[in-house]
Structure 1
Amino acid sequence: MSAAAPTVDAFLAALAHQRRASPHTLSAYRRDLERCTRLLPLLGAGTLVELTPAQIRRLVSHLARDGLSGRSIARLLAALRAYYRLAIDHGALASDPAAGITAPKSPRRLPATLDVDHLARLLDFAAEDPLARRDRAMFEVLYSSGLRLAELVALDCGDVDLADASARVTGKGRKTRIVPVGARACAALADWLVLRRTLTAEPAALFVNRRGGRLSARAVQQRLRHWADRQGIDRRVYPHLLRHSCAGHLLESSGDLRAVQELLGHASIATTQVYTQVDFQYLARVYDAAHPRARRRSG
């Protein structure tokens, strides 16, 4: 080894500077590398750069037996590989000992959804003041078009075409897509836009706060929780739940996976396929309750 291995602090500083890594990523990578460092004596190594592929496989097995999820182990391996890339660049390591090592697969968590009755109760509230009418328009658009929260708050007035019942949405990777907007969402938007013109508002933003500035994602979350509590929804309600519900209900009715993929802006159809499992679970419950050959005989 011709050079000293970089410290974890030096690695994280380089990651922040060169790759503009987010504070969340830096914090997660620090926890992962510190976890690895604590386990070095168990693996028989002194430093991270001394780990062999066999020792890293033992590390993965140990973490899995200890109950760490496959997703968390995959992130830990990503942190190790990023660290090893810097060590190689510094001449402290000849090759990546974590290359080709994968995390065990975890069962994929199914997205939670709200049933139609709960959604009707949530969305059908008396909008008696401007902010309530704004909120109803936001929630209708979230559910109607399956938007992500960031996509909703980024909408500008010019992105919505009520005559065409559509909206132009900027999603992940700055990719744009055109999504349909349902009749109830269009009506709620038309109502809100009339009121919005009476406000001293930021000229572009579709949804604004009482001071006229673009509404924040945090504010949308708070308003949705407020209305869920007021409408007697006895579970946690959050913006992404409306997106999940939109996808689940569309698939339940149409079975058109490709159309739902386009609507949600998923790069891969594999991401959308998780909603088919939700639909199957619903089908299985109905089948078990209704099919004569599915019901177990008592006694």
Structure 2
Amino acid sequence: MRKAAPVLPRKLHGGHFAFMRALAQGLDERASWDRYLRLEGEHADLRTVRRTIAWIRDEFAAAARRENKPGTARLILLDPDRFAAAPKQPTLAEFAAERGLEDFSEAEQLEAYEEAYPPGGQGGRGKAAPGRGGQGGAVPPTRRSRVIARQLEALRWLQDLVAQDPRPGDRVSAWLNPTLAKRLERAGVTTLLNLVERINGIGARWWVPVPGVGELKASRVLEWLQANEAVLGLRVGRHVLQPRSQLTPVVLAGVVPAATALRPFEKFLVPPALDGRAGGFRAPLEQSVLLARNDPEAIGAWLASKSAGRGNALSATQRAYRKEAERLLLWAVLERQKALSSLTVEDVNGYRSFLADPPAAWCGPRHHQRWSPLWRPLEGPLSAVALRHALTILKGLFAFLMSQGYVTGNPFAAFALPSHSPRPLGSRRTLTFSQWDHIEALLDQQVDTEAGRRLRRAMRWLYATGLRLAEITSVKCEDLEKIDYRATDGTMATDWMLSVVGKGGRSREVPIPRDLVDELGDELARHGFEREVSAPGNRGIRVMARFHTGFESGFNSDFVVGLDTGPQCPLSWRPVPWSASGLYQAIKAFLAHAADSLEGSDAQHLKEASTHWLRHSHASHALQGRAGQTPVPLQVVQNNLGHASVGTTSLYLMTERDERIRAMRGFWHSRGAP
């Protein structure tokens, strides 16, 4: 049986002592909680408050016993309310009026008063006779008030003894409400340092992936961290205070400072001694046709040479190439303590081993963006295919640097690439027809909200077109064109074509189902745009736009100034494009949800699925064809996918294992096989 993890005690802080002092003096429990303990992050009903009071008293008493103060321990556990307060006694004037003694002398009034309220009477709770002039005199303390006074004194002594300040390595369970702390720990947030890193790394909606933690609890946690910022030495960034859609690139760029540490390429500070100015294999400056002075600049020139001529935005190819060069540069400087232009064949061998088993500190989930403190250059060990791909790209990097006269050798050229066993495209990464039908049924059940309709639009467009993730998030309304053509029966028909710029800057046209374009038109009209998708007023709007229902009432932060929309466009604002990472995460989450209603291998298959599986499924399903449906010609699917070679597309014909076995069984039986 697995041994349960030890339960670590919560720690006492100044707020606990302030809370108990307030209670000892008779203040309301809930009001005292809201004032001193609300920031522990959990809404408190009276049961929670009283459980916390009992826990604090027990902790106080245990601390007193550890200091060999058993009397103080017992005192802390006393409830002052057990001792009734002394009944209120009248003043001398009130007593005289009540008894009809107004015309008596003051001495006679005092004598009668002391007879009615003898000093030290009523179980030791009596008061001294009121002074002259009808005002009450000094009142001896009651037993209850004496207990309260001694408890307050004991609390001050204990606070100096045991109250602590939070530290980054402390577990969240030591400081936050136990229920909240358990939810955070189940989500992998175990320490206060983890918590701050999670918040800074994700931003305002950091709490969404933590089951049971909503916006209110998250705001209290944030307040607590801000209140303890000085003693913790951890700062929650200002970008956390605003939704991600409202943050400018300048703000995001400032979240993580540039440093000689695990940073993206654009924020990695290479020490001058390792920047390649004096690289071991640098060619003479007069032989180089690059203006690059150092290795990072040379990498930048190589990336620029891969540009498809679409402005400053990096293409998908450039981003893939930057990732590999970035990893190698970080490894060379941080792990090998060498300039990139000083790497040898032996270093390349070491780098291969590194990629096959990278340290945990280098790894993190792929969805963390480059501005985030949680960004890491790797997800984990590279597969044989990914390793071969990485080394091939780096071999090309050094080949470029050699051809430009920047370095004298290519350490990757002599290195044998890992063996590669070709497998059919989409092998084991293709949905079956029944799995896609299950997904379609769930999409029809989506809640009719902008986000739900957007997810449905994304999945259906990806499946219907076979576009890549970067392609589908880039296309705009003006890329759609209505086409008149002659149908198979000879009549004229109308449909749509989508112009796409794919890998290597190659353009192609992909047919689009009319019903999908009509749905997009409905969404445009719903948000105040023209229903005709290709209308001039819709120029600049992405097909995968993030619309917002509050748009018609005025400017909304989910909208940004559009690019030049031309004088014919009546609107000056455009919906924010759905980012590739946001779309990827949304589809992954939906597919995981779809898997919950399945069992066995189907469920496991959908849990592994991602956006690219829809591209594979498009190809496989189109080429195979459903029962009673004519398969799509190979050349048509090749064009949809943007493959340079029809041979590449033909590999999808091999992805349906069961279909191939059934076909061969018919052949075997025709030859009399058993």
Aligned residue for 1:272, secondary structure, equals: helix
CA distance in 1, matches of 2:510, 2:529: 28
Summarize the alignment of residues 106-117 of structure 1 with structure 2, pairs less than 5 Å apart: 106-109=420-423, 110-111=425-426, 112-117=429-434
Aligned residue for 2:500, secondary structure, equals: strand
| Pairing 1:173–2:504 present | yes
Q: Which residue does 2:620 correspond to in 1?
A: 248
The answer for unaligned runs of 5 or more in structure 1 is 39-46
Of 457, 461, 473, 1:137 maps to 457
CA distance in 2, matches of 1:87, 1:5: 14
- Do the aligned partners of residues 219 and 88 (structure 1) sit closer, same or farther apart at CA in structure 2, a change above 3 Å counting? closer
Aligned residue for 1:165, secondary structure, equals: strand
CA distance in 2, matches of 1:88, 1:263: 35
Deviates more, 1:107-116 or 1:16-25: 16-25
Q: Which residue does 1:123 correspond to in 2?
A: 440
Identity over aligned pairs, percent: 21
Aligned residue for 1:177, secondary structure, equals: strand
Aligned residue for 2:577, secondary structure, equals: coil
Q: Which residue does 2:469 correspond to in 1?
A: 149
CA distance in 2, matches of 1:24, 1:78: 10
What is the identity, as a one-letter code, of the residue corresponding to 1:115? T
> Relative contact order: is structure 1 or structure 2 higher (C-alpha 8 Å, sep ≥ 6)?
1
Q: Deviation of residue 158 (structure 1)? A: 1.7
CA distance in 1, matches of 2:280, 2:498: 51
- Do the aligned partners of residues 106 and 257 (structure 1) sit closer, same or farther apart at CA in structure 2, a change above 3 Å counting? same
What is the identity, as a one-letter code, of the residue corresponding to 2:417? A
Q: Deviation of residue 29 (structure 1)? A: 2.9
> Cα deviations across residues 207-257 of structure 1 (Å, max 9, x unaligned)?
322323111112212332343344436323322111110000011122632
The answer for unaligned runs of 5 or more in structure 2 is 1-277, 283-292, 305-317, 357-381, 483-493, 531-537, 549-557, 559-574, 626-630
What is the identity, as a one-letter code, of the residue corresponding to 1:205? R
CA distance in 2, matches of 1:68, 1:222: 22
Of 618, 639, 659, 1:283 maps to 659
CA distance in 2, matches of 1:243, 1:144: 9
What is the identity, as a one-letter code, of the residue corresponding to 2:495? D
Q: Which residue does 1:159 correspond to in 2?
A: 479
> Cα deviations across residues 143-169 of structure 1 (Å, max 9, x unaligned)?
111111111111211222465232222
Of 79, 83, 86, 2:394 maps to 79
CA distance in 1, matches of 2:668, 2:400: 60
TM-score normalised according to structure 2 size:
0.35
> Cα deviations across residues 23-47 of structure 1 (Å, max 9, x unaligned)?
412233347868x979xxxxxxxx7
Of 277, 280, 294, 1:5 maps to 280
- Decide whether the 8 Å contact of 1:136 with 1:188 is kept in 2: no
Aligned residue for 1:147, secondary structure, equals: coil
Aligned residue for 2:660, secondary structure, equals: helix
- Decide whether the 8 Å contact of 1:16 with 1:26 is kept in 2: no
Q: Deviation of residue 278 (structure 1)? A: 0.5
- Which protein has the bigger helix share? 1
Aligned residue for 1:167, secondary structure, equals: strand
Q: Which runs of 4+ in 1 moved over 6 A?
A: 31-34, 87-92, 288-292, 294-297
Aligned residues: 275
TM-score normalised according to structure 1 size:
0.71
- Decide whether the 8 Å contact of 1:146 with 1:242 is kept in 2: yes
| Pairing 1:260–2:637 present | yes
Q: Deviation of residue 264 (structure 1)? A: 0.7
- Do the aligned partners of residues 273 and 103 (structure 1) sit closer, same or farther apart at CA in structure 2, a change above 3 Å counting? farther
- Decide whether the 8 Å contact of 2:391 with 2:417 is kept in 1: no
